[in-house]
Amino acid sequence: MNGFLPISKKDMLERGWDEVDFIYVTGDSYVDHPSFGAAIITRVLEDEGYRVAVLSQPNWRGTADFTQFGKPRLGFFVTSGNIDSMVAHYTAAKRKRHDDAYTAGGVAGKRPDRAVIVYSNIIKSIYPDSPVIIGGLEASLRRFAHYDYWDDEVKPSILVESRADLLSFGMGENQTREIAKRLDNGESISSMRDILGTCYLCPTAETTYEGAECPSYENVKTNKKEYAKSCRIQQDEQDHIRGRVIKQKHGRQMLVQNKPMPPLTTQELDHVYSLPYMRAYHPSYEKLGGVPGIAEVEFSITHNRGCFGACNFCSIAFHQGRFITTRSKESIVEEAKKLIQMPNFKGYIHDVGGPTANFRQPSCTMQLEKGLCKGKKCLAPKPCPNLVSDHAEYLDILRAVRNLNGVKKVFIRSGIRYDYLLKDKDDTFFRELVENHVSGQLKVAPEHCSAAVLDKMGKPHIEAYVEFSKRYFKYTGEINKEQYLVPYLMSSHPGSTLDDAIELALFLKKRHIRPEQVQDFYPTPGTISTCMFYTELDPYTMEPVYVAKTEHDKAMQRALLQYYNPKNQRLVEEALKRAKRYDLIGFDSKCLVKPTDSRKSTQNNRQKNNAHKSNKKFRGKR
C-alpha cells in the first residue's frame, strides 16, 4: 500500500475498508499534487476524517468502473479535471488534439467530451438517490446558461444537463467541508440551499426573493442583447463581500447561485498546502511514461490565489475571484524544503507564483470592507489612483527561498503584471527579478498593441509594455546578462479588425519581434470576451463589437502577426489588399511583404538562369 488514496477496490480492501464515504470522479489521471484540484479536494476530505476513493478517467462506455467501489456512504464529487474537457480535446480551430497533458502517457481520448455531464448522468442512472456534487473548472464556468463554442449554441446551466444535485463553484475547499459534514449529519442534499459558493435548482415557486435575476435561459438563447445583460450581472456579482445571490430561470426551474464563498484565510490556505500530498502521479502510470502535466508544476510553489487583473478573456476572475489571498512566508519556505528533499530535485524551483505571480496584497485597502469595484478594473485601461503597488513582501519570500541550502535558482514563470510592477516606486524587486529570477527569457502578456483591442481585452495600453521593456533591458544590460523578453500575443480577439492586426504587425516589425507562436482567441465559457464573441456586443456598453468569426478571417489576422514567414505570404498580401494597405506591399523597408507576382518573376528568372548555366556546363563537357 502506498500513500496515495485508493484508486481501485483492491486498494480500498488493503486499507481495511468495506466501503468509502465519498467517490471522487475525475477526467484526469490521478496526480496527488497541490497544483491539481482533485488532489486538494480529496486531501481536504481525508483531512476531515472521510474515507475517499479516486475514480480516475473511468470508462464511460460501460458502468463497471463506476460500481467497483460499491455505493459510497455519502455521495460522489465529480469534475472533468484541471481544465474543461472540450478545451482538453479541441484546439481553437475546433480540431482534435493529438495528446492530453493530464493523461498518463499524454494519450488523448481517455475522457469523454463534456465529461462532467457524462459522468454525472451515469452515476445518476446507477445510484439515483446518491448525492452528486459537481465542481472544478468545467462545472464552475458553465454554472449559468452559457455560449458553447464547440456546438455554436447557448446551452443551459450544466446543473440541468448533468442532473447533479449541487454545483460547487470557485476553489471549493470550504464548500466541500460543509457539504460533507451536513451529509454526514444526515441532512438531505436537496435541502442544502444556503451554502455559499454553491448553485442549486429549485421549482420557480420556491425561489428566494433576494438577489439579482438574470434574463432566463430561454431569453438568452434567442436574444443576444439579453445574453449580454445576463453576462454583466453574473460578472459583477462575483464578489464575496458585496456580491448578491443570482437567479436564472430555466423553464419551470430556477437556477440559484448563492453568494461566493469567502476566499481561504492565510491560515486556512497554509493548512491546505500542508496536507500529505505525494507530489507525484500515481505509480501505476510509470509504465506509461507518467503524466506530462506535472512536469511544469512538480517543483513549483503556489503562493497566492485570485487576480484583480481580471482580463476579459480569462476565466480566473469568474472562478477564483478578484480578491487576493496568500500563504504565509513560513508555509512557502516549508514547501520549498520539501521540494529540496525530493530525489529528482536538481536545485531549481520553477515558480513561486499563482494566477499572477507578483500580486501579494489587495489592490487597495477599501476592498477589504467594500469588496472590489463593480464594473471597473484595478489596472485597465490605466491603474486606479487608489492602487497600492508594493513588492516588498513578495521579494522577502523569494530571497528566503533562494537562500535555502540546496536551491540553485528560483524562477518566476507564472507571469507578472508589468503594469502593476511599474507602479511600484521602489525598483528593487524589478532589479532582483532581472538578476535572479529569469530563466534566460521572461514571458509577459501585452497581447496586442491597438488601444481599441486592448480595451476590449481589459488590458493596459501598449505604452506600459514599451516602458517595461526599456527598463527590463536596461537592468539586464547593467548586470551584463543576455536575457530576452517574450511577449504573448493574441489574434482575432473580439474588437480586433484587420486594421488592428496590421497595426500590431507594424509594431512587431519596428521592434524586431518575431513571435514563434500566436494564440488565436479561444471562446471558452464564462468570460466577458466569449460573450462579445457570441453576441458581437460589449456587455458593459451594449455597443457593437467587430468579431472575426470565419476561419479565413482568423487566419489572415494570425498570418499578419507572422508576416515574415514565407508560408504566410499570400494571406498577408490578401489581408493588406482587403484593408487597402497597398503601401505595405513592396520592396521598401517599411513594407510587410513583397508582391507575389514579383516573387514569381524573380523565381522564374532564377530558374531560367540556373537552366542556362546547366546547359553551358553540359555543352562544355560535350
With a CB cutoff of 8 Å and minimum separation 6, the contacts of 266 are 325, 326, 327, 328
pLDDT value at residue 2: 79
Q: What angle do CA 19, 25, 26 make, to 5 degrees?
A: 150
Question: Looking at residues 338-355, what average pLDDT do you find?
Answer: 96
Mean pLDDT of the chain: 94
Q: Is the pLDDT of residue 603 over 50?
A: no
> Band of the pLDDT at 516, cuts 50, 70, 90?
confident
Helix pair angle (173-184, 266-273), 10° resolution: 80
pLDDT digits (tens, 9 = 90+) for 385-418: 999 999 999 999 999 999 999 999 999 998 899 9
Higher per-residue confidence, 440 vs 273: 273
H/E element holding 421?
helix 418-422
Q: Is the pLDDT of residue 475 over 90?
A: yes
pLDDT value at residue 607: 47
| Residue with cell string 536545485 | 347
Q: How far is CA 572 from the centre of its chain?
A: 30
pLDDT value at residue 602: 47
Q: Is the pLDDT of residue 615 over 70?
A: no
Q: How far apart are CA 11 and CA 389, in angstroms?
A: 50
Q: Is the pLDDT of residue 604 over 50?
A: no
Q: Buried b vs exposed e over 321-340: b needs ≥16 C-beta within 10 Å?
A: bbbbbbbeeebbeebbeebe
**Beta strands of 423-507 (E only): which ranges?**
441-447, 484-491
pLDDT digits (tens, 9 = 90+) for 157-167: 999 999 999 99
Helix pair angle (528-535, 224-236), 10° resolution: 170
Q: Is the pLDDT of residue 608 over 90?
A: no
Q: Is the pLDDT of residue 199 over 90?
A: yes
pLDDT value at residue 601: 45
pLDDT digits (tens, 9 = 90+) for 130-152: 999 999 999 999 999 999 999 99
| Residue with cell string 516588498 | 392
Label the pairing between strands 166-168 and 198-203.
antiparallel
Residue pair 119/55 in contact (Cβ under 8 Å)? The answer is: no
| Residue with cell string 480492501 | 13
> Band of the pLDDT at 596, cuts 50, 70, 90?
confident
Q: How far apart are CA 114 and CA 111, in angstroms?
A: 9
Q: Among 45-49, 60-64, 100-104, 437-441, where is mean pLDDT lowest?
A: 437-441
pLDDT digits (tens, 9 = 90+) for 232-286: 999 999 999 999 999 999 999 999 999 999 999 999 999 999 999 999 999 999 9
- Exposure on the CB side of residue 454, measured as CA atoms within 13 A: 21
pLDDT digits (tens, 9 = 90+) for 554-593: 999 999 999 999 999 999 999 999 999 999 999 999 999 9
pTM, 2 dp: 0.93
The cell for 1 is 500500500
Q: Is the pLDDT of residue 490 over 90?
A: yes
pLDDT value at residue 347: 97
Ramachandran class of 551: left when φ > 0, alpha when ψ lies in -120 to 50, beta otherwise: alpha
pLDDT digits (tens, 9 = 90+) for 112-134: 999 999 999 999 999 999 999 99
Cα dihedral 582→585→591→592 (10° resolution): 110
pLDDT digits (tens, 9 = 90+) for 287-308: 999 999 999 899 999 999 999 9
Question: Looking at residues 102-108, what average pLDDT do you find?
Answer: 96
> Band of the pLDDT at 598, cuts 50, 70, 90?
low
Residue 312, Cβ density class (10 Å: 0-12 exposed, 13-18 middle, ≥19 buried):
buried
**What sign results for the dihedral spanned by CA atoms 92, 102, 140, 132?**
positive
pLDDT value at residue 326: 97
> Band of the pLDDT at 517, cuts 50, 70, 90?
confident
The cell for 249 is 430561470
The cell for 358 is 507578483
The cell for 312 is 476579459
Strand order across the beta sheet in which 253-257 lies: 52-56, 22-26, 75-79, 132-134, 166-168, 198-203, 253-257, 246-250, 212-213
- Find, among 189, 167, 375, the residue nearest to 256 by Cα: 167
pLDDT value at residue 1: 54
With a CB cutoff of 8 Å and minimum separation 6, the contacts of 503 are 449, 450
Percentage of the residues of the chain whose pLDDT score is greater than 70: 96
pLDDT value at residue 619: 34
Q: How far apart are CA 544 and CA 10, in angstroms?
A: 59
At residue 300, the 3 state secondary structure works out as strand
Q: How far apart are CA 116 and CA 81, in angstroms?
A: 9
Distances (CA, A) of 535 to 93, 148, 256, 494: 19, 12, 24, 10
